[in-house]
Structure 1
Amino acid sequence: MSRQLVSGVDLKKLGPYPAGARGLPRTSRLAPVHANAPAVAERRTEPLLKQELVDYLKSGCKPKSQWRIGTEHEKLGFNLDDNSRMSYDQIAQVLRKLEARFGWQPIMEDGRIIGVYLDGQSVTLEPGGQFELSGAPVETIHKTCAEVNSHLYQVKAICEELHCGFLGVGFDPKWAIKDVPVMPKGRYSLMKAYMPTVGSMGLDMMFRTCTVQVNLDFESERDMIEKFRIGLALQPMANALFANSPFKEGQPTGYVSTRGHVWTDVDASRTGGLPFVFREDMSFERYVEYAMDVPMYFVYRNGQYINALGMSWRDFMAGKLPALPGEYPTLADWANHLTTIFPEVRLKKYLEMRGADGGPWRMLCALPALWVGLLYDDEAQQQALALVSDWTDSEREYLRTEVPRAGLRTRFRGGTVQNLAKQVVSIARGGLQRRGHDEANFLKRLEVIAETGLTQADHLLELYETKWQRSVDPLYSEFMY
Structure 2
Amino acid sequence: MARDVSDTTPIASRSALVEWLENGCKTGGAPLRIGTEHEKIPFYAGENAPVPYEGAGGRGGVRALLEGLQAALGWEPILDRDALIGLYQPDGGGAISLEPGGQFELSGAPLLDVHATSAEIEAHFEALAAVARPLGIRFLDLGCSPKWTREETPAMPKQRYDIMRAYMPKVGALGLDMMFRTATVQVNLDFVSEADMVLKMRVGLALQPLVTALFANSPFLEGAPTGRLSQRSFIWRDTDPDRTGMLPFVFEEGFSFERYVDYALDVPMYFVKRGDVYHDVAGASFRDLLEGRLPQLPGERATMSDWANHLSTIFPEVRLKNYLEMRGADAGPRAHLTALPALFAGLFYDSAALDQARQLTKNWSAEERETLRDEVPRLALAAMIGDRNLRDIGRDVLALAKEGLRRRARLNAEGEDETVYLTPLEVIVEEGRSLAERRLDAYHGAWGRSVEPAFTECVMPI
Same fold (TM over 0.5): yes
The answer to whether 1:151 aligns with 2:115 is no
Counterpart in the other structure of 1:76: 41
Distance in 2 between residues matched to 1:327 and 1:100, nearest whole Å: 39
Counterpart in the other structure of 1:470: 449
Q: How does 1:47-196 map to 2 (within 5 A)?
A: 48-63=12-27, 64-89=29-54, 90-118=61-89, 119=91, 120-196=93-169
Distance in 2 between residues matched to 1:479 and 1:171, nearest whole Å: 12
Counterpart in the other structure of 2:430: 451
Counterpart in the other structure of 1:416: 389
Cα shift at 1:206: 0.2
Distance in 2 between residues matched to 1:274 and 1:415, nearest whole Å: 23
Distance in 2 between residues matched to 1:305 and 1:65, nearest whole Å: 36
Q: How many residues align?
A: 445
Cα shift at 1:98: 0.7
- Cα distance per residue 1:347-405 (max 9 Å; x no partner): 00000000000000000000000011111100000000001111000000011111011
Q: Residues 13 and 339 of structure 1 are in contact (CA less than 8 Å); yes or no, is this contact kept in structure 2?
A: no
SS where residue 12 of structure 1 aligns?
coil
Distance in 2 between residues matched to 1:143 and 1:237, nearest whole Å: 25
- Cα distance per residue 1:87-143 (max 9 Å; x no partner): 102011011111112322221111111011225111100000000000000001000
The answer to whether 1:40 aligns with 2:4 is no
Q: Residues 72 and 214 of structure 1 are in contact (CA less than 8 Å); yes or no, is this contact kept in structure 2?
A: yes
Cα shift at 1:285: 0.1
Q: How does 1:349-368 map to 2 (within 5 A)?
A: 349-368=322-341
The one of 243, 259, 263 equivalent to 2:232 is 259
AA partner of residue 79 (structure 2): M
Q: How does 1:12-23 map to 2 (within 5 A)?
A: 12=2
Q: What TM-score results when the alignment is normalised by the length of structure 1? A: 0.91
Runs of 4+ in 1 over 6 A off after TM superposition: none
Counterpart in the other structure of 2:195: 222
- Cα distance per residue 1:312-370 (max 9 Å; x no partner): 11111111101111121011111111011000000000000000000000000000000
Q: Residues 143 and 330 of structure 2 are in contact (CA less than 8 Å); yes or no, is this contact kept in structure 1?
A: yes
Q: Residues 318 and 324 of structure 2 are in contact (CA less than 8 Å); yes or no, is this contact kept in structure 1?
A: yes
- Cα distance per residue 1:434-464 (max 9 Å; x no partner): 1111101100111111111111101100000
Q: Residues 7 and 304 of structure 2 are in contact (CA less than 8 Å); yes or no, is this contact kept in structure 1?
A: no
Cα RMSD for the two superposed structures = 1.1
Q: How does 1:242-281 map to 2 (within 5 A)?
A: 242-281=215-254
Cα shift at 1:207: 0.2
Q: How does 1:227-246 map to 2 (within 5 A)?
A: 227-246=200-219
Distance in 2 between residues matched to 1:307 and 1:99, nearest whole Å: 30
AA partner of residue 58 (structure 1): E
Cα shift at 1:13: 6.3
Name the stretch that deviates more: 360-369 or 403-412: 403-412
Q: What TM-score results when the alignment is normalised by the length of structure 2? A: 0.95
Distance in 2 between residues matched to 1:444 and 1:344, nearest whole Å: 24
Cα shift at 1:267: 0.5
Report sequence identity in percent. Answer: 51
* Long gaps (5+) in structure 1: 1-10, 15-37
AA partner of residue 305 (structure 1): Y
Q: Residues 35 and 110 of structure 2 are in contact (CA less than 8 Å); yes or no, is this contact kept in structure 1?
A: yes
SS where residue 473 of structure 1 aligns?
coil
AA partner of residue 71 (structure 1): T
Distance in 1 between residues matched to 2:69 and 2:277, nearest whole Å: 27
Distance in 2 between residues matched to 1:75 and 1:181, nearest whole Å: 14
* Long gaps (5+) in structure 2: 55-60, 411-416
Distance in 2 between residues matched to 1:295 and 1:427, nearest whole Å: 38
